[in-house]
Amino acid sequence: MIKLPKESYSEEQIRQWLEAVTDPEIPVISIADLGVLEAVIVTSDRVVIEIIPTYSGCPAMYAIRQDIIENLHIHGVENVTVVVKNQPAWNTDRMTEKGKENLKKYGIAPPQSGSNPLIVCPQCGSQDTTCVSQFGSTPCKALYRCQSCLEPFDYFKCHV
Amino acid sequence: MNEAAIYHYLLRLADTSLTQSQRLAEWCGHGPFLEEDIALTNVALDLLGHAKMLYEQAAEISEQQLSADDLAFLRDVSEFKNPLLTELPRGNFAFTILKQYFVDQFHVLLYSALRHSMYAPLAHIAEKALKEVNYHLERSHGWCLRLSLSTEQAKMKIQEALDDLYFYTPELFESDAYLDDLQAQQIIPDLTQLQADWQQSVDVLLAECQLNVPKKGWLATGGLRGEHSEHLGYMLAEMQFLQRAYPGCQW
Protein backbone atom coordinates (compact mmCIF):
# COMPACT_ATOMS: atom_id res chain seq x y z
CA MET A 1 0.00 0.00 0.00
CA ILE A 2 1.33 3.43 -0.91
CA LYS A 3 1.55 5.68 2.10
CA LEU A 4 -0.05 9.05 1.73
CA PRO A 5 1.80 11.78 3.65
CA LYS A 6 -0.72 13.81 5.57
CA GLU A 7 0.61 17.12 4.26
CA SER A 8 0.50 16.11 0.59
CA TYR A 9 -3.17 16.87 -0.07
CA SER A 10 -5.32 19.47 1.54
CA GLU A 11 -9.07 19.05 1.83
CA GLU A 12 -9.41 22.18 -0.29
CA GLN A 13 -7.31 20.65 -3.06
CA ILE A 14 -9.40 17.46 -3.06
CA ARG A 15 -12.62 19.46 -3.16
CA GLN A 16 -11.30 21.46 -6.10
CA TRP A 17 -10.55 18.27 -8.04
CA LEU A 18 -13.96 16.87 -7.18
CA GLU A 19 -15.60 19.89 -8.89
CA ALA A 20 -15.16 17.85 -12.07
CA VAL A 21 -17.35 15.02 -10.72
CA THR A 22 -20.92 15.64 -11.80
CA ASP A 23 -24.25 13.88 -11.53
CA PRO A 24 -24.16 11.33 -14.38
CA GLU A 25 -27.79 12.11 -15.26
CA ILE A 26 -27.32 15.90 -15.07
CA PRO A 27 -23.73 16.55 -16.20
CA VAL A 28 -23.88 20.31 -15.54
CA ILE A 29 -24.08 20.09 -11.77
CA SER A 30 -21.16 18.96 -9.63
CA ILE A 31 -21.77 16.65 -6.68
CA ALA A 32 -20.74 19.54 -4.41
CA ASP A 33 -23.29 21.91 -5.96
CA LEU A 34 -25.93 19.19 -5.79
CA GLY A 35 -25.33 18.79 -2.06
CA VAL A 36 -24.34 15.14 -2.38
CA LEU A 37 -20.74 15.66 -1.25
CA GLU A 38 -20.95 15.54 2.52
CA ALA A 39 -17.34 15.40 3.71
CA VAL A 40 -13.73 15.09 2.58
CA ILE A 41 -11.48 13.55 5.20
CA VAL A 42 -7.74 13.26 4.63
CA THR A 43 -6.12 10.75 6.98
CA SER A 44 -2.51 9.62 7.20
CA ASP A 45 -2.91 6.88 4.60
CA ARG A 46 -6.07 7.59 2.64
CA VAL A 47 -8.70 10.04 1.50
CA VAL A 48 -12.25 9.29 2.65
CA ILE A 49 -15.09 10.86 0.71
CA GLU A 50 -18.54 10.78 2.29
CA ILE A 51 -21.52 11.17 0.01
CA ILE A 52 -25.26 11.05 0.66
CA PRO A 53 -27.80 9.89 -1.92
CA THR A 54 -30.43 12.28 -3.25
CA TYR A 55 -33.28 9.75 -3.41
CA SER A 56 -32.93 6.45 -1.52
CA GLY A 57 -33.02 4.33 -4.66
CA CYS A 58 -30.97 6.62 -6.87
CA PRO A 59 -28.93 4.31 -9.14
CA ALA A 60 -26.51 7.15 -9.94
CA MET A 61 -24.76 6.62 -6.60
CA TYR A 62 -22.79 3.71 -8.05
CA ALA A 63 -21.59 5.82 -10.96
CA ILE A 64 -20.76 8.75 -8.68
CA ARG A 65 -18.70 6.50 -6.43
CA GLN A 66 -16.73 5.21 -9.42
CA ASP A 67 -16.27 8.72 -10.83
CA ILE A 68 -14.86 9.99 -7.53
CA ILE A 69 -12.35 7.16 -7.34
CA GLU A 70 -11.28 7.58 -10.97
CA ASN A 71 -11.01 11.34 -10.67
CA LEU A 72 -8.75 11.15 -7.64
CA HIS A 73 -6.66 8.35 -9.16
CA ILE A 74 -5.95 10.63 -12.13
CA HIS A 75 -4.59 13.19 -9.68
CA GLY A 76 -2.39 10.55 -8.10
CA VAL A 77 -4.44 9.80 -5.00
CA GLU A 78 -4.23 6.04 -4.74
CA ASN A 79 -6.08 5.19 -1.56
CA VAL A 80 -9.61 6.48 -1.82
CA THR A 81 -12.58 5.23 0.16
CA VAL A 82 -16.07 6.39 -0.73
CA VAL A 83 -18.68 6.02 1.99
CA VAL A 84 -22.38 6.34 1.19
CA LYS A 85 -24.25 7.60 4.25
CA ASN A 86 -27.96 7.74 5.04
CA GLN A 87 -27.52 10.65 7.36
CA PRO A 88 -28.04 13.59 7.09
CA ALA A 89 -31.02 13.16 4.79
CA TRP A 90 -30.44 15.03 1.54
CA ASN A 91 -32.76 17.87 0.60
CA THR A 92 -32.82 20.47 -2.15
CA ASP A 93 -31.77 23.26 0.26
CA ARG A 94 -28.33 21.66 0.10
CA MET A 95 -28.05 22.70 -3.54
CA THR A 96 -25.94 25.81 -4.17
CA GLU A 97 -27.14 28.88 -6.07
CA LYS A 98 -24.49 28.15 -8.71
CA GLY A 99 -25.91 24.67 -9.05
CA LYS A 100 -29.45 25.99 -9.51
CA GLU A 101 -28.25 28.48 -12.12
CA ASN A 102 -26.48 25.70 -14.04
CA LEU A 103 -29.62 23.57 -13.99
CA LYS A 104 -31.62 26.42 -15.47
CA LYS A 105 -29.11 27.02 -18.26
CA TYR A 106 -29.22 23.31 -19.04
CA GLY A 107 -33.02 23.42 -19.43
CA ILE A 108 -34.09 22.03 -16.04
CA ALA A 109 -36.23 24.28 -13.83
CA PRO A 110 -34.52 24.43 -10.41
CA PRO A 111 -36.41 23.42 -7.23
CA GLN A 112 -38.80 25.99 -5.73
CA SER A 113 -40.02 25.73 -2.16
CA GLY A 114 -43.41 26.75 -0.80
CA SER A 115 -46.86 25.22 -0.97
CA ASN A 116 -47.77 26.67 -4.35
CA PRO A 117 -44.45 27.22 -6.10
CA LEU A 118 -44.16 29.17 -9.31
CA ILE A 119 -42.33 27.02 -11.84
CA VAL A 120 -40.79 29.19 -14.55
CA CYS A 121 -40.09 27.77 -18.02
CA PRO A 122 -36.29 27.44 -18.35
CA GLN A 123 -36.58 27.94 -22.14
CA CYS A 124 -38.60 31.15 -22.50
CA GLY A 125 -39.04 32.39 -18.92
CA SER A 126 -42.85 32.21 -19.01
CA GLN A 127 -44.65 31.66 -15.72
CA ASP A 128 -47.56 29.97 -17.45
CA THR A 129 -46.56 26.31 -16.96
CA THR A 130 -48.39 23.12 -16.02
CA CYS A 131 -47.40 19.81 -14.43
CA VAL A 132 -47.74 16.89 -16.84
CA SER A 133 -46.49 14.22 -14.44
CA GLN A 134 -45.27 14.31 -10.84
CA PHE A 135 -42.61 11.83 -11.89
CA GLY A 136 -40.04 12.31 -14.64
CA SER A 137 -37.00 10.72 -16.23
CA THR A 138 -35.20 10.34 -12.89
CA PRO A 139 -36.51 10.13 -9.30
CA CYS A 140 -35.51 13.75 -8.63
CA LYS A 141 -37.48 15.30 -11.49
CA ALA A 142 -41.10 15.97 -12.47
CA LEU A 143 -42.36 16.65 -15.99
CA TYR A 144 -43.75 20.07 -16.90
CA ARG A 145 -44.95 21.86 -20.02
CA CYS A 146 -44.80 25.54 -20.87
CA GLN A 147 -48.14 26.94 -22.07
CA SER A 148 -46.41 29.85 -23.82
CA CYS A 149 -43.64 28.24 -25.90
CA LEU A 150 -45.31 24.79 -25.68
CA GLU A 151 -42.00 23.10 -24.86
CA PRO A 152 -41.94 20.29 -22.30
CA PHE A 153 -39.26 20.54 -19.62
CA ASP A 154 -37.95 18.81 -16.52
CA TYR A 155 -38.48 20.34 -13.10
CA PHE A 156 -36.09 19.39 -10.31
CA LYS A 157 -38.57 18.54 -7.55
CA CYS A 158 -38.35 20.43 -4.29
CA HIS A 159 -37.42 17.93 -1.61
CA VAL A 160 -37.46 19.24 1.96
CA MET B 1 -31.39 -3.23 23.30
CA ASN B 2 -32.93 -6.42 22.05
CA GLU B 3 -30.95 -6.93 18.84
CA ALA B 4 -32.88 -10.02 17.80
CA ALA B 5 -36.11 -8.04 17.96
CA ILE B 6 -34.63 -5.13 15.99
CA TYR B 7 -33.30 -7.51 13.35
CA HIS B 8 -36.73 -9.12 13.06
CA TYR B 9 -38.44 -5.73 12.70
CA LEU B 10 -35.91 -4.38 10.17
CA LEU B 11 -36.65 -7.43 8.02
CA ARG B 12 -40.39 -6.91 8.47
CA LEU B 13 -40.12 -3.38 7.06
CA ALA B 14 -37.54 -4.24 4.40
CA ASP B 15 -39.53 -7.23 3.11
CA THR B 16 -42.67 -5.08 2.97
CA SER B 17 -40.94 -2.42 0.87
CA LEU B 18 -39.16 -4.96 -1.34
CA THR B 19 -42.29 -6.96 -2.22
CA GLN B 20 -44.30 -3.78 -2.78
CA SER B 21 -41.50 -2.48 -5.01
CA GLN B 22 -41.29 -5.71 -7.00
CA ARG B 23 -45.05 -5.69 -7.72
CA LEU B 24 -44.84 -2.08 -8.91
CA ALA B 25 -41.82 -2.87 -11.06
CA GLU B 26 -43.91 -5.50 -12.85
CA TRP B 27 -45.80 -2.57 -14.40
CA CYS B 28 -42.68 -1.42 -16.26
CA GLY B 29 -43.75 -1.16 -19.89
CA HIS B 30 -47.39 -1.98 -19.02
CA GLY B 31 -48.56 1.29 -17.46
CA PRO B 32 -51.83 2.73 -18.80
CA PHE B 33 -49.88 5.62 -20.36
CA LEU B 34 -46.26 6.72 -20.47
CA GLU B 35 -46.20 9.22 -17.58
CA GLU B 36 -47.97 6.75 -15.31
CA ASP B 37 -45.66 3.93 -16.35
CA ILE B 38 -42.75 6.13 -15.25
CA ALA B 39 -44.49 7.11 -12.01
CA LEU B 40 -45.13 3.48 -11.01
CA THR B 41 -41.51 2.52 -11.54
CA ASN B 42 -40.22 5.69 -9.84
CA VAL B 43 -42.16 4.75 -6.72
CA ALA B 44 -40.82 1.20 -7.06
CA LEU B 45 -37.27 2.58 -7.12
CA ASP B 46 -37.78 4.66 -3.97
CA LEU B 47 -39.21 1.63 -2.15
CA LEU B 48 -36.27 -0.47 -3.31
CA GLY B 49 -33.99 2.20 -1.86
CA HIS B 50 -35.79 1.99 1.49
CA ALA B 51 -35.53 -1.80 1.46
CA LYS B 52 -31.80 -1.50 0.74
CA MET B 53 -31.19 0.83 3.71
CA LEU B 54 -33.18 -1.47 6.01
CA TYR B 55 -31.45 -4.66 4.78
CA GLU B 56 -28.04 -3.00 5.16
CA GLN B 57 -28.83 -2.14 8.76
CA ALA B 58 -30.14 -5.66 9.40
CA ALA B 59 -27.00 -7.13 7.80
CA GLU B 60 -24.84 -4.98 10.04
CA ILE B 61 -26.36 -6.39 13.22
CA SER B 62 -26.91 -9.94 11.98
CA GLU B 63 -25.03 -12.65 13.81
CA GLN B 64 -24.14 -14.45 10.62
CA GLN B 65 -21.95 -12.61 8.13
CA LEU B 66 -24.75 -11.60 5.78
CA SER B 67 -25.00 -8.83 3.20
CA ALA B 68 -28.07 -6.84 2.18
CA ASP B 69 -28.12 -8.84 -1.07
CA ASP B 70 -28.07 -12.14 0.83
CA LEU B 71 -31.13 -11.03 2.77
CA ALA B 72 -33.04 -9.96 -0.31
CA PHE B 73 -32.05 -12.74 -2.68
CA LEU B 74 -31.17 -15.82 -0.68
CA ARG B 75 -33.97 -16.19 1.85
CA ASP B 76 -36.94 -18.37 1.08
CA VAL B 77 -40.67 -17.78 1.51
CA SER B 78 -40.93 -18.85 5.14
CA GLU B 79 -38.17 -16.40 6.11
CA PHE B 80 -39.96 -13.38 4.61
CA LYS B 81 -41.91 -11.25 7.07
CA ASN B 82 -43.97 -8.92 4.87
CA PRO B 83 -47.75 -8.79 5.33
CA LEU B 84 -49.77 -10.75 2.76
CA LEU B 85 -51.05 -7.46 1.32
CA THR B 86 -47.82 -6.58 -0.46
CA GLU B 87 -47.33 -9.98 -2.07
CA LEU B 88 -50.74 -10.04 -3.77
CA PRO B 89 -50.51 -10.14 -7.57
CA ARG B 90 -50.54 -6.63 -9.01
CA GLY B 91 -54.06 -6.91 -10.45
CA ASN B 92 -55.48 -4.08 -12.57
CA PHE B 93 -54.53 -0.40 -12.27
CA ALA B 94 -57.27 0.42 -9.73
CA PHE B 95 -56.13 -2.49 -7.56
CA THR B 96 -52.50 -1.37 -7.74
CA ILE B 97 -53.38 2.25 -6.93
CA LEU B 98 -55.63 1.45 -3.96
CA LYS B 99 -53.08 -0.97 -2.54
CA GLN B 100 -50.43 1.69 -3.02
CA TYR B 101 -52.58 4.22 -1.18
CA PHE B 102 -53.02 1.85 1.79
CA VAL B 103 -49.26 1.26 1.93
CA ASP B 104 -48.37 4.96 1.40
CA GLN B 105 -50.68 6.06 4.19
CA PHE B 106 -49.15 3.41 6.44
CA HIS B 107 -45.59 4.45 5.55
CA VAL B 108 -46.22 8.17 6.08
CA LEU B 109 -47.58 7.64 9.60
CA LEU B 110 -45.03 4.98 10.46
CA TYR B 111 -41.94 6.88 9.30
CA SER B 112 -43.20 10.12 10.91
CA ALA B 113 -43.27 8.25 14.21
CA LEU B 114 -40.05 6.29 13.64
CA ARG B 115 -38.10 9.53 13.28
CA HIS B 116 -38.27 9.62 17.08
CA SER B 117 -37.17 6.00 17.53
CA MET B 118 -34.79 5.31 20.41
CA TYR B 119 -32.78 3.25 17.90
CA ALA B 120 -30.87 5.93 15.97
CA PRO B 121 -30.19 4.01 12.71
CA LEU B 122 -33.92 3.44 12.29
CA ALA B 123 -34.66 7.10 13.01
CA HIS B 124 -32.20 8.14 10.28
CA ILE B 125 -33.72 5.78 7.73
CA ALA B 126 -37.22 7.05 8.61
CA GLU B 127 -36.11 10.67 8.21
CA LYS B 128 -34.92 9.96 4.69
CA ALA B 129 -37.78 7.69 3.61
CA LEU B 130 -40.49 10.01 4.93
CA LYS B 131 -39.69 12.71 2.36
CA GLU B 132 -40.27 10.21 -0.41
CA VAL B 133 -43.39 8.45 0.89
CA ASN B 134 -45.06 11.84 1.42
CA TYR B 135 -44.74 12.39 -2.31
CA HIS B 136 -46.05 8.88 -3.06
CA LEU B 137 -49.10 9.48 -0.89
CA GLU B 138 -49.98 12.66 -2.73
CA ARG B 139 -50.13 10.73 -5.97
CA SER B 140 -51.98 7.59 -4.83
CA HIS B 141 -54.47 9.69 -2.83
CA GLY B 142 -55.17 11.81 -5.91
CA TRP B 143 -55.62 8.77 -8.14
CA CYS B 144 -58.11 7.15 -5.72
CA LEU B 145 -60.30 10.25 -5.97
CA ARG B 146 -59.92 10.51 -9.73
CA LEU B 147 -60.87 6.88 -10.32
CA SER B 148 -63.74 6.85 -7.84
CA LEU B 149 -65.35 10.03 -9.09
CA SER B 150 -64.99 9.45 -12.82
CA THR B 151 -66.72 6.87 -15.04
CA GLU B 152 -68.93 4.02 -13.86
CA GLN B 153 -66.32 1.57 -15.13
CA ALA B 154 -63.52 3.16 -13.08
CA LYS B 155 -65.71 3.38 -10.00
CA MET B 156 -66.68 -0.28 -10.33
CA LYS B 157 -63.02 -1.34 -10.59
CA ILE B 158 -61.87 0.57 -7.55
CA GLN B 159 -64.86 -0.65 -5.54
CA GLU B 160 -63.92 -4.23 -6.47
CA ALA B 161 -60.34 -3.53 -5.42
CA LEU B 162 -61.56 -2.21 -2.07
CA ASP B 163 -63.68 -5.33 -1.51
CA ASP B 164 -60.67 -7.53 -2.26
CA LEU B 165 -58.04 -5.56 -0.33
CA TYR B 166 -59.73 -4.16 2.73
CA PHE B 167 -59.29 -7.08 5.10
CA TYR B 168 -55.63 -7.45 4.20
CA THR B 169 -54.87 -4.06 5.77
CA PRO B 170 -55.12 -4.79 9.55
CA GLU B 171 -52.15 -7.13 9.19
CA LEU B 172 -49.94 -4.08 8.61
CA PHE B 173 -50.35 -3.29 12.32
CA GLU B 174 -50.01 -6.81 13.69
CA SER B 175 -47.61 -7.35 16.57
CA ASP B 176 -45.81 -10.30 18.15
CA ALA B 177 -43.57 -10.80 21.17
CA TYR B 178 -40.61 -9.07 19.48
CA LEU B 179 -42.66 -6.09 18.36
CA ASP B 180 -44.34 -5.81 21.77
CA ASP B 181 -40.89 -5.53 23.26
CA LEU B 182 -39.83 -2.83 20.77
CA GLN B 183 -43.01 -0.85 21.45
CA ALA B 184 -42.32 -0.99 25.19
CA GLN B 185 -38.81 0.36 24.60
CA GLN B 186 -40.10 3.11 22.27
CA ILE B 187 -37.99 1.80 19.44
CA ILE B 188 -41.16 1.54 17.35
CA PRO B 189 -44.43 3.42 17.83
CA ASP B 190 -47.55 2.04 19.51
CA LEU B 191 -49.06 -0.04 16.72
CA THR B 192 -52.63 0.20 18.04
CA GLN B 193 -52.41 4.00 17.95
CA LEU B 194 -50.79 3.85 14.51
CA GLN B 195 -53.68 1.73 13.24
CA ALA B 196 -56.25 4.14 14.68
CA ASP B 197 -54.55 7.10 12.97
CA TRP B 198 -54.33 5.17 9.71
CA GLN B 199 -57.98 4.17 9.88
CA GLN B 200 -59.03 7.75 10.44
CA SER B 201 -57.22 9.00 7.32
CA VAL B 202 -58.48 6.07 5.25
CA ASP B 203 -62.08 6.59 6.39
CA VAL B 204 -61.95 10.24 5.30
CA LEU B 205 -60.67 9.36 1.83
CA LEU B 206 -63.05 6.44 1.26
CA ALA B 207 -65.99 8.66 2.24
CA GLU B 208 -64.78 11.33 -0.17
CA CYS B 209 -64.51 8.67 -2.85
CA GLN B 210 -68.10 7.60 -2.08
CA LEU B 211 -67.06 3.96 -1.91
CA ASN B 212 -68.83 1.29 0.12
CA VAL B 213 -66.59 0.03 2.89
CA PRO B 214 -66.97 -3.76 3.22
CA LYS B 215 -68.35 -4.84 6.58
CA LYS B 216 -67.12 -8.38 7.00
CA GLY B 217 -64.36 -10.48 5.53
CA TRP B 218 -61.51 -12.90 6.12
CA LEU B 219 -58.71 -11.18 8.03
CA ALA B 220 -55.35 -11.86 6.46
CA THR B 221 -52.57 -12.82 8.85
CA GLY B 222 -49.32 -14.80 8.90
CA GLY B 223 -46.58 -12.66 7.36
CA LEU B 224 -44.75 -11.97 10.61
CA ARG B 225 -44.57 -15.71 11.25
CA GLY B 226 -43.41 -16.47 7.72
CA GLU B 227 -46.77 -17.96 6.72
CA HIS B 228 -47.49 -16.64 3.25
CA SER B 229 -49.83 -17.09 0.32
CA GLU B 230 -48.66 -19.04 -2.73
CA HIS B 231 -48.10 -15.74 -4.56
CA LEU B 232 -44.89 -14.97 -2.69
CA GLY B 233 -43.23 -18.15 -3.91
CA TYR B 234 -43.80 -17.21 -7.54
CA MET B 235 -42.57 -13.69 -6.90
CA LEU B 236 -39.35 -14.86 -5.27
CA ALA B 237 -38.77 -17.45 -7.99
CA GLU B 238 -38.63 -14.62 -10.52
CA MET B 239 -36.93 -11.99 -8.36
CA GLN B 240 -34.22 -14.28 -6.97
CA PHE B 241 -33.58 -16.31 -10.11
CA LEU B 242 -30.31 -14.67 -11.09
CA GLN B 243 -28.63 -14.99 -7.68
CA ARG B 244 -29.84 -18.57 -7.34
CA ALA B 245 -28.66 -19.59 -10.81
CA TYR B 246 -25.40 -17.63 -10.71
CA PRO B 247 -24.41 -17.34 -7.04
CA GLY B 248 -22.49 -14.18 -6.24
CA CYS B 249 -23.13 -12.70 -9.69
CA GLN B 250 -22.56 -8.93 -9.76
CA TRP B 251 -24.02 -6.34 -12.12
pLDDT tens figures, B176-235: 999 999 999 999 999 999 999 999 999 999 999 999 999 999 999 999 999 999 999 999
Instruction: Give CA–CA dist A148/B161, Å, rounded.
Output: 41
CB contact under 8 A, B135 and A134: yes
To which H or E segment does residue B145 belong? Answer: helix B120-148
The per-residue pLDDT for A23 is: 94
Structural domains in chain B (count) = 1
In terms of Cα–Cα distance, which of B97, B132, B98 is closest to B112? B132
The per-residue pLDDT for A113 is: 86
The per-residue pLDDT for A7 is: 53
Pairing of strands A80-84, A47-51: parallel
To the nearest whole angstrom, how far is the Cα of B60 from the nearest Cα of chain A? 14
pLDDT tens figures, B21-74: 999 999 999 999 999 999 999 999 999 999 999 999 999 999 899 999 999 999
Instruction: Give CA–CA dist A37/B3, Å, rounded.
Output: 32
pLDDT tens figures, A45-70: 899 999 999 999 888 899 999 999 99
Instruction: Give CA–CA dist B69/B178, Å, rounded.
Output: 24
- What's the length of chain A? 160
In terms of Cα–Cα distance, which of B1, B3, B9, B47 is closest to B174? B9
- How large is the average pLDDT for residues A132-154? 92
- How large is the average pLDDT for residues A120-138? 93
Residue A49 belongs to a domain: yes
Instruction: Give CA–CA dist A143/A135, Å, rounded.
Output: 6
Residue B224 belongs to a domain: yes
Residue B251 belongs to a domain: no
A10 and A69 belong to one structural domain: yes
Residue B238 belongs to a domain: yes
3-state secondary structure of A30: strand
At residue A5, does pLDDT exceed 60? no
CB contact under 8 A, B38 and A89: no
At residue A160, does pLDDT exceed 90? no
Instruction: Give CA–CA dist A157/A138, Å, rounded.
Output: 10
At residue A71, does pLDDT exceed 60? yes
A83 and A110 belong to one structural domain: no
At residue A18, does pLDDT exceed 80? yes
Residue A96 belongs to a domain: no
- How large is the average pLDDT for residues B3-10? 97
CB contact under 8 A, B52 and A56: yes
ipTM of the complex: 0.87
Residue A95 belongs to a domain: no
- The dihedrals phi and psi of A109, each to the nearest 5 degrees, come to -70, 125
Provide the residue range defining the domain that includes A57: 6-90
Structural domains in chain A (count) = 2
**A55 contact residues in B (CB cutoff 8 A):** 45-46, 49, 132
- How large is the average pLDDT for residues B98-123? 98
